[in-house]
C-alpha cells in the first residue's frame, strides 16, 4: 500500500501548467479528480477532500492574477494588494519551513555519522501532548473552547465591576475554580506519566562500535551512520541495515509484534559482504556506504544498495526488506550489528503512529449545543425585561444586570455534576466483578460506550488467541481427527522400525517403498505407507527453524556450539514466519517425526527410534501472497533421492495436483468448521530432471527484464501432475465466547468491521468461524485492482450484490479510496460485515477516520498490538486488550480490557447506563437552573422590573449544592433495566444510537416543566401570602426545595437505598438551616430586610400553604407520567413488568 505514497508529490500535470500561473498560491494547485488516465496513477494516495476539487478553480484564478499586475502603487495596495502581499509572505514562510522538512534519500557511510550531508532528527521518543510552557495555555484552551466554560468565565469576571456586582464573588468563582483545578490535576498526572514512559525508553543504553572499541550510548543519542550492537531480547532503537550477526548462518530472527501485530518471528539476513569479514573491527577498515531510499510509511518494503569501494572491483549489493531491522522490533536470536539509516520521527514505527487527539464525547457536544440555546433564551429574556422597563436610565447597565441575574439559566454545576458522574461511571466499570481487570484510562468519555454504531476490530490476538492447533489430516479415503492421532503415531513407529531393520539387514540403504515403486509403479499403496509419506512431507516442506535455549547464559557463539551434540526436547522451540507452519511441525513431533536442526543447506529429522535422518535443501520457493504456495526440493542423504514437496492453498494447488474427486469437497467441509486448510503434494525427480531445472532456474534469476515472471515460469514447469499426499486442517483458536459476543453486538445494531494485517484466506476463514459473517450470508471477495478502470468495474459488480459481506485487501482498498472514496464508503456501510486484510497500521486509522467523516456515527476500535495504536487513537472510543503482543495497545486506549468477551457487558450495561444517566442528570441540572430563573423573572416583573436578586448569595449556593445536590447526583445510580436484562435483549442498545435520551424534544419538555413550576411557585407564594408579604422568600424557597426533591423522585426509575438517604438528608439539612440562615429569608436586603421568626414557620398555615403550592406544581406531572406509562410505555418497561 504505502510504498507508492509520495510525501510531497509534484505530478507532471502540475509542472506542465506551472508556466500559466506562477503567481497562484500553492494551496490552490491541487490535483484534479478528473484528470487524464496517466495522471491518475500519480495522484497521492492519502488525498485530502480539497484535493478532489475540480481543476476549474485554477482557471478562475488566472484573470485575477493578471489583473493584479496591471494596477500598481497605492491604488493597487488598497484594492487588495495587501492581501496578495500577505499571502505571498505566508507562502514563502511555508515553503521555507517545508523545505527543511522534506524527506530525502540518503547515503550513509558506515560508522561515520559526521559524513552525513543533512541534519537528521534526534532519535528520541516523544508522546507528550504539552511541554513546560504550553501546559497551562493548552489546558485552558481545551477547557474554554467550550461555550459553557467560556460563559462562566465571562460572568465570573463581570463581578469585579462594582456596578454589575450582584452577589458575593465566591458564588461565581468557587465552582469555576473547582472545575479548573480538577481538570488541571488530571491532565498534569497523565502528562507526567507519559513523560516518565518516554524517559524510560529514551535512556535505554546500547553498545556503539567506534574505532576505539565499544562505547555505551543512550537510545536518544544514536545518530544516522552509527554502528549499533543489539543483544538478544533487546529492542532495536532505530531503523538499521543488518550488517553482521553472531549466528553462523548469517541470519537472525526478530519479533515484530509491536510493529505489525504479527506474533510470528521474521527471518532477517545480514549483508553478505560485511558478514564475511573476519572480525568486528574490520567494519572500520573498509570504506563502504549504504544508499537508502527516503523514509516512508510502508513497513513491508525497502529499496537500497550497499557499496564497498576499497576492494578491487567496487562491490555492489542490493538491499531489500530482509536486510533491514526496523525500530521497535526485538532481536529474538543471536547478537546483531547494524548501521543506523533512519532515526526519530523518520523511523517506520513513528511514521505509522498518529498523534493522540483529545477526545470529546458526543453527549458533551450535544449539551454544549443546548447551552447555546439557553444562552439565546437568557439574552431574549433580559431584553424583554429592559423593554418592559421602558429603557429608562442607564438601561444597558440594567440589561447586563438582568443577564447576570438570570445567569442561573446556565448552571455552572452542570460541569461539576457531569464530571463527577463520569468519575462515578469509571469507578463502577473498574469495580464490576463480571469484567475483572478492566481499566478506564480516559475518564471523560464513558457515555460514548452507549452510542456506538461501528466496531472496528483487529483479528490476531483480539478475536483469536493466535495459537494454532493441528486438527485434521485427510488422505482421501481416510480422515484422522484429534481423537485418532495415536493411530498415525503407531503407523509411523512401525514404518520407521521396518526401514531401520531392513537397512541394517540388507546393508543397502534403499527403502522398501523404493523397491516396490521401481518394480510395479501401479501397485496401490497401503494406508501405512501413505501416512508415512504425508507425515514426512509435512515435516520437510516448511520454513521452520528449531531454536535451542542454552541453559548457561553464554553468548550466541558458544550457545550454538553445544547445540550440535544436544538435540534435547525440553529446550527446543520452533520459529517460523507463520504460526500455521509451527503447528504442523509440532504435530509431526507429536506423532514421532521431529525436526531437530536446520540451516541454509540442510535439515535433520529424528525418527521415533532416535535415528537422525539428514536431508540436503537444494531449493526453497517461499510463500508469496500471489502464488499462495511454498515449495522445497530436498535430497535424502541416505538414498540420494531428490523430491520436490509443495504445500499451499487449495485454490492454488487444485490445478497442480493429479486429478482426484475429493479435494474440493473436503476443503469446503474443513473451511466450514473454521479450519485453515493446506494441500500437500510431492513429485520425485531424477538427477537429470533436477540438473536441467537448476540450469534454467539460475539463468532466469540472472535476467534483467521480467525476472519475476521468468523465475515463476521455470518453477511452474515443475508444478505439473504432482502426487496429492494429504490435506491438513489447522485451527486458530478463537478467544473465549467470541461468537456469542459478536452475535450480541450485531443484534444491538452495531456494524462490525475486521481490519487485519493477515492474509485474505485466513481472514475469511476466521470471519466465518467467529460468525462475524453468518452462515447464510454470501461473501463478496473484492478482486485485486490496481487502476481506476478496474476499481470502477469491480465496484459496479459489488453494487449488484445484496446483503453480502465484503472482503477486500489493503492495496485494492487504497485504489478504491483514491478514486471512488465516497461511493466505496457508501457501499461498504450497507454491508452487514466488512473484512479488510493486509492492512497497514496507517490504513486502519484511515478507515476509522473515513467512517467518522462519511457517516457521522460514533466508532469504536478494539485491538491488542502496537499496530492497532493508530486505529485506537483515531476512533471516538478506543478499547485495548492486554494480550500476548504486549501492553502497547492497552496503554494507548481509552478503556483496557483483558478479554474480548468483556466488550459485551462494557457496552450493553455500562455504556447504556452511563449515557442514560448522564442525559437525565444533565437535563435535571438544567431544569434546576431554569426553574429558579423563571421565579426570578416573575419576581422582577411584579416588582416594577427591578434588577434585584430574589435569593441572596448563600441561598443560591446552598440551592445548587447542599439542598439539592445529593438527590440530583443520586441519578447516577438509576437504571431502567437490570444488567441481566440488558445483556439478554441487546436490541435495547439500538434505541440509544438515535440519541433520544437527550434531544431538543426532551430538552423542550424540561423547559416547559421548569416554566410551569417556576410560575406556580412564585405566583402561588404571592397569591397566598398577601398579608404576610414579608415572608414570600421563605415560602417560595421552601416550596422550591420540596418540588425539586419530588421531581427527583419522579425521574427515578429504579430506587436504590442511597437515593432515599440522599432525599431525607437534603430535607434535614434544609430544615436545620432555616434556624441559622434567617437573615437571608427577607426579600433581598434592598427592600425589607425582614427577619424570619421561627414561630411563623411552625404555624399550621405556613405548612398547609407550602404543601398546597408544592402539590399544584408537582401533581399534574405525576398524573401525566402515569398516563404516558399506561398508554405508550417505553420499550424497557415491557421487559421489567
pLDDT tens column, 644-697: 999 998 888 999 999 999 998 998 888 777 788 899 999 999 999 999 999 999
* Ranges assigned E (strand) in 441-521: 452-457, 464-474, 479-480
- Residue 260, pLDDT > 80, answer no
pLDDT at 25: 38
- Sheet containing strand 106-109, edge to edge, reads 106-109, 288-292, 304-308, 315-319
Alpha carbon 899 to its chain's center: 16
What is the mean predicted confidence (pLDDT) over 89-107? 68
Q: Is 899 helix (H, G, I), strand (E, B) or coil?
A: coil
Residue 681: φ, ψ to 5°: -140, 165
Q: Which helix H or strand E contains 677, and what residues bound it?
A: strand 675-685
Q: Which three cell numbers stand for residue 598?
A: 536446520
pLDDT at 66: 33
pLDDT at 37: 41
**CA–CA dist 1030, 1083 (Å, integer):** 7
**CA–CA dist 968, 862 (Å, integer):** 34
Would residue 458 show up in a list of annotated catalytic residues for this protein?
Answer: yes
- Cβ neighbors of 197 (< 8 A, separation 6 or more) are 127, 891
**CA–CA dist 816, 824 (Å, integer):** 7
> What is the tens place of the pLDDT at every residue in 515-530?
333 333 445 678 899 9
Least confident of 360-364, 476-480, 499-503, 934-938: 499-503
**CA–CA dist 1080, 951 (Å, integer):** 8
- Residue 414, pLDDT > 90, answer no
pTM of the entire predicted model: 0.74
What is the mean predicted confidence (pLDDT) over 849-867? 92
Q: Which helix H or strand E contains 1110, and what residues bound it?
A: helix 1100-1127
pLDDT at 352: 81
pLDDT band at 599 (very low <50, low <70, confident <90, very high): confident
* 947 or 468: which leads in pLDDT: 468
What is the mean predicted confidence (pLDDT) over 135-149? 87
- Residue 1085, pLDDT > 80, answer no
- Residue 24, pLDDT > 50, answer no
Q: Is 604 helix (H, G, I), strand (E, B) or coil?
A: strand
- Residue 583, pLDDT > 60, answer yes
Cα dihedral angle (139, 144, 146, 147), rounded to 10 degrees?
A: 170
Q: Are 194 and 979 in contact (CB under 8 A)?
A: no
DSSP 8-state assignment for residue 654: T
User: In sequence order, what are the beta bridge partners of 450?
Assistant: none
- Residue 241, pLDDT > 70, answer yes
Least confident of 232-236, 663-667, 868-872, 1127-1131: 1127-1131
Question: Which of 535, 571, 108 minimizes the C-alpha distance to 346?
Answer: 108
pLDDT at 10: 39
> What's the whole-number average pLDDT of the chain?
83
Rg (CA), the chain: 38
Burial of 739: CB neighbours in 10 Å, binned 0-12, 13-18, 19+: middle
* 228 or 176: which leads in pLDDT: 228
- Residue 49, pLDDT > 70, answer no
Q: How far is CA 983 from CA 46, 453, 988, in A?
A: 40, 17, 9
- Sheet containing strand 330-331, edge to edge, reads 265-269, 251-255, 330-331
pLDDT band at 561 (very low <50, low <70, confident <90, very high): very low
Q: Which three cell numbers stand for residue 62?
A: 488566472
What is the mean predicted confidence (pLDDT) over 1005-1029? 86
Q: Are 623 and 629 in contact (CB under 8 A)?
A: yes
pLDDT at 76: 57
DSSP 8-state assignment for residue 523: S
DSSP 8-state assignment for residue 356: P
> What is the tens place of the pLDDT at every residue in 753-812?
999 987 787 888 889 889 999 878 889 999 999 999 999 999 999 999 988 999 999 999
pLDDT band at 351 (very low <50, low <70, confident <90, very high): confident
> What is the tens place of the pLDDT at every residue in 606-657?
999 889 999 999 999 888 767 889 999 999 999 999 999 999 988 889 999 9
What is the mean predicted confidence (pLDDT) over 281-301? 88
pLDDT band at 468 (very low <50, low <70, confident <90, very high): confident
Residue 292: φ, ψ to 5°: -120, 145
Q: Are 1127 and 1133 in contact (CB under 8 A)?
A: no
Alpha helices, DSSP H, located in 571-659 = 579-590, 650-653
- Cβ neighbors of 1016 (< 8 A, separation 6 or more) are 1109, 1112, 1113
pLDDT at 56: 33
Burial of 1056: CB neighbours in 10 Å, binned 0-12, 13-18, 19+: middle
- Residue 74, pLDDT > 90, answer no
Indicate which residue of 58, 239, 260, 458 is catalytic: 458
pLDDT band at 45 (very low <50, low <70, confident <90, very high): very low
Least confident of 161-165, 461-465, 594-598, 924-928: 161-165
Amino acid at each position: 500500500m504505502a510504498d507508492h505514497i509520495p510525501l510531497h508529490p509534484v505530478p507532471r500535470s502540475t509542472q506542465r501548467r506551472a508556466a500559466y500561473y506562477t503567481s497562484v498560491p500553492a494551496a490552490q494547485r491541487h490535483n484534479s479528480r478528473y484528470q487524464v488516465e496517466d495522471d491518475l496513477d500519480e495522484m497521492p494516495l492519502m488525498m485530502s477532500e480539497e484535493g478532489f476539487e475540480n481543476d476549474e478553480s485554477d482557471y478562475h484564478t488566472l484573470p485575477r492574477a493578471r489583473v493584479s499586475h496591471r494596477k500598481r502603487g497605492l491604488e493597487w495596495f488598497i484594492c487588495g494588494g495587501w492581501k496578495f502581499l500577505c499571502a505571498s509572505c505566508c507562502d514563502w514562510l511555508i515553503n521555507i519551513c517545508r523545505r527543511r522538512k522534506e524527506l530525502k534519500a540518503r547515503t550513509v557511510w558506515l560508522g561515520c555519522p559526521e559524513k552525513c550531508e543533512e541534519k537528521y532528527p534526534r532519535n528520541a521518543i516523544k508522546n507528550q501532548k504539552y511541554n513546560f510552557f504550553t501546559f497551562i495555555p493548552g489546558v485552558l484552551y481545551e477547557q474554554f473552547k467550550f461555550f459553557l466554560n467560556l460563559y462562566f468565565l465571562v460572568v465570573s469576571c463581570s463581578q469585579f465591576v462594582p456596578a454589575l456586582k450582584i452577589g458575593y464573588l465566591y458564588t461565581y468563582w468557587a465552582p469555576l475554580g473547582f472545575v479548573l483545578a480538577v481538570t488541571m490535576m488530571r491532565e498534569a498526572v497523565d502528562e507526567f506519566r507519559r513523560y516518565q514512559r518516554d524517559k524510560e525508553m529514551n535512556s535505554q543504553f546500547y553498545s556503539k562500535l567506534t574505532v576505539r572499541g565499544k562505547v555505551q550510548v543512550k537510545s536518544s543519542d544514536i545518530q544516522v551512520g552509527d554502528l549499533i550492537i543489539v543483544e538478544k531480547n533487546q529492542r532495536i532503537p532505530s531503523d538499521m541495515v543488518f550488517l553482521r550477526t553472531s549466528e553462523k548462518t548469517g541470519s537472525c530472527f526478530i519479533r515484530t509484534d509491536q510493529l505489525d501485530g504479527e506474533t510470528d518471528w521474521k527471518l532477517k539476513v545480514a549483508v553478505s559482504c560485511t558478514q564475511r569479514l573476519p572480525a568486528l573491527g574490520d567494519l572500520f577498515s573498509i570504506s563502504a556506504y549504504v544508499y537508502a531510499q527516503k523514509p516512508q510509511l510502508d513497513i513491508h518494503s525497502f529499496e537500497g544498495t550497499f557499496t564497498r569501494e576499497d576492494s578491487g572491483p567496487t562491490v555492489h549489493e542490493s538491499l531489500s526488506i530482509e536486510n533491514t531491522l526496523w525500530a521497535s522490533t526485538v532481536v529474538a536470536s543471536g547478537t546483531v550489528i547494524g548501521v543506523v539509516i533512519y532515526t526519530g520521527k523518520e523511523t517506520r514505527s513513528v511514521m505509522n503512529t498518529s498523534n493522540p487527539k483529545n477526545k470529546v464525547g458526543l453527549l458533551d457536544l450535544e449539551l454544549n449545543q443546548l447551552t447555546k440555546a439557553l444562552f439565546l433564551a437568557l439574552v431574549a429574556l433580559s431584553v424583554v425585561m429592559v423593554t418592559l422597563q421602558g429603557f429608562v436610565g442607564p438601561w444597558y447597565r440594567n440589561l447586563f444586570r438582568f443577564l447576570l441575574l438570570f445567569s442561573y439559566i446556565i448552571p455552572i454545576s452542570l460541569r461539576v455534576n457531569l464530571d463527577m458522574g463520569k468519575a462515578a461511571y469509571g469507578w463502577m466499570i473498574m469495580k464490576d466483578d463480571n469484567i475483572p481487570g478492566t481499566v478506564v484510562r480516559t475518564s471523560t468519555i464513558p457515555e460514548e460506550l452507549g452510542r456506538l454504531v461501528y466496531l472496528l476490530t483487529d483479528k490476531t490476538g483480539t478475536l483469536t488467541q493466535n495459537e494454532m492447533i493441528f486438527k485434521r489430516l485427510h488422505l482421501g479415503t481416510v480422515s484422522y481427527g484429534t481423537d485418532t492421532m495415536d493411530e498415525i503415531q503407531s503407523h509411523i513407529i512401525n514404518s520407521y522400525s521396518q526401514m531401520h531393520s531392513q537397512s541394517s539387514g540388507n546393508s543397502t540403504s534403499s527403502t522398501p517403498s523404493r523397491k516396490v515403486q521401481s518394480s510395479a509403479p501401479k501397485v496401490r499403496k497401503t494406508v501405512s505407507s501413505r501416512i508415512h509419506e504425508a507425515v514426512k512431507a509435512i515435516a520437510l516442506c516448511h520454513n521452520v527453524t528449531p531454536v535451542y535455549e542454552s541453559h548457561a547464559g553464554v553468548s550466541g557463539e558458544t550457545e550454538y556450539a553445544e547445540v550440535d551434540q544436544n538435540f534435547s526436547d525440553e529446550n527446543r522451540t520452533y520459529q517460523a514466519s507463520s504460526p500455521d507452519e509451527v503447528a504442523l511441525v509440532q504435530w509431526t513431533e507429536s506423532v514421532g517425526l521431529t525436526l531437530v536442526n536446520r540451516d541454509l543447506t540442510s535439515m535433520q529429522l529424528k525418527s521415533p527410534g532416535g535415528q537422525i535422518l539428514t536431508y540436503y535443501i537444494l531449493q526453497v520457493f517461499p510463500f508469496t501472497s500471489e502464488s499462495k504456495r511454498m515449495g522445497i526440493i530436498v535430497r535424502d542423504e541416505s538414498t540420494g533421492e531428490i523430491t520436490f514437496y509443495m504445500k499451499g492453498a487449495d485454490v492454488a494447488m487444485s490445478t497442480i495436483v493429479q486429478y482426484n474427486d475429493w479435494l474440493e469437497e473436503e476443503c469446503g467441509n474443513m473451511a466450514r468448521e473454521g479450519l485453515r486448510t493446506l494441500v500437500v503434494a510431492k513429485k520425485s525427480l531424477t538427477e537429470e530432471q533436477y540438473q536441467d531445472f537448476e540450469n534454467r532456474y539460475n539463468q532466469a534469476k540472472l535476467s534483467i527484464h521480467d525476472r519475476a515472471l521468468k523465475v515463476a515460469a521455470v518453477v511452474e514447469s515443475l508444478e505439473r501432475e504432482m502426487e496429492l499426499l494429504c490435506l491438513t486442517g489447522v485451527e486458530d483458536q478463537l478467544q473465549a465466547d467470541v461468537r456469542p459476543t459478536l452475535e450480541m453486538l450485531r443484534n444491538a445494531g452495531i456494524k462490525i468491521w475486521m481490519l487485519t494485517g493477515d492474509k485474505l484466506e485466513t481472514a475469511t476463514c476466521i470471519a466465518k468461524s467467529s460468525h462475524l459473517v453468518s452462515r447464510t450470508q454470501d461473501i463478496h471477495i473484492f478482486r485485486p485492482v490496481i487502476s481506476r478502470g478496474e476499481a470502477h468495474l469491480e465496484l459496479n459488480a459489488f453494487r449488484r450484490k445484496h446483503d453480502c459481506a465484503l472482503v477486500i485487501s489493503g492495496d485494492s482498498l487504497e485504489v478504491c479510496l483514491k478514486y471512488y472514496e465516497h461511493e466505496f464508503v457508501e457501499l461498504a456501510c450497507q454491508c452487514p460485515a466488512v473484512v479488510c486484510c493486509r492492512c497497514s497500521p496507517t490504513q486502519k486509522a484511515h478507515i476509522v477516520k473515513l467512517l467518522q467523516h462519511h457517516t457521522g456515527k460514533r466508532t469504536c476500535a478494539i485491538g491488542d498490538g502496537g499496530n492497532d495504536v493508530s486505529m485506537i487513537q483515531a476512533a471516538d472510543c478506543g478499547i485495548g486488550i492486554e494480550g500476548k503482543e504486549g501492553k502497547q495497545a492497552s496503554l494507548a486506549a481509552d478503556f483496557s480490557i483483558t478479554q474480548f468477551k468483556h466488550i459485551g457487558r462494557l457496552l450493553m450495561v455500562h455504556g447504556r447506563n452511563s449515557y442514560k444517566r448522564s442525559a437525565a442528570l444533565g437535563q435535571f441540572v438544567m431544569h434546576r437552573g431554569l426553574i429558579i430563573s423563571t421565579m426570578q423573572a416573575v419576581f422582577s416583573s411584579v416588582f416594577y422590573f427591578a434588577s434585584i436578586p430574589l435569593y441572596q448569595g448563600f441561598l443560591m449556593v446552598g440551592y445548587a449544592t447542599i439542598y439539592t445536590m445529593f438527590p440530583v447526583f443520586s441519578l447516577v445510580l438509576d437504571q431502567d433495566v437490570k444488567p441481566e436484562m440488558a445483556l439478554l435483549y441487546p436490541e435495547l442498545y439500538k434505541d440509544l444510537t438515535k440519541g433520544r435520551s437527550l434531544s431538543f424534544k426532551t430538552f423542550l419538555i424540561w423547559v416547559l416543566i421548569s416554566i410551569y413550576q417556576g410560575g406556580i411557585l412564585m405566583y402561588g407564594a404571592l397569591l397566598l401570602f398577601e398579608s404576610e408579604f414579608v415572608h414570600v422568600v421563605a415560602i417560595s424557597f421552601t416550596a422550591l426545595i420540596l418540588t425539586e426533591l419530588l421531581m427527583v423522585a419522579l425521574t427515578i426509575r429504579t430506587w436504590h437505598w442511597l437515593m432515599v438517604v440522599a432525599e431525607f438528608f437534603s430535607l434535614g439539612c434544609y430544615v436545620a438551616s432555616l434556624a441559622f440562615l434567617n437573615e437571608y429569608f427577607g426579600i433581598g436586603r434592598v427592600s425589607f430586610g425582614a427577619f424570619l421568626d421561627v414561630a411563623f414557620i411552625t404555624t399550621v398555615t405556613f405548612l398547609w400553604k407550602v404543601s398546597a403550592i408544592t402539590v399544584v406544581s408537582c401533581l399534574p406531572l405525576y398524573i401525566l407520567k402515569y398516563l404516558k406509562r399506561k398508554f405508550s410505555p417505553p420499550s424497557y418497561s415491557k421487559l421489567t413488568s
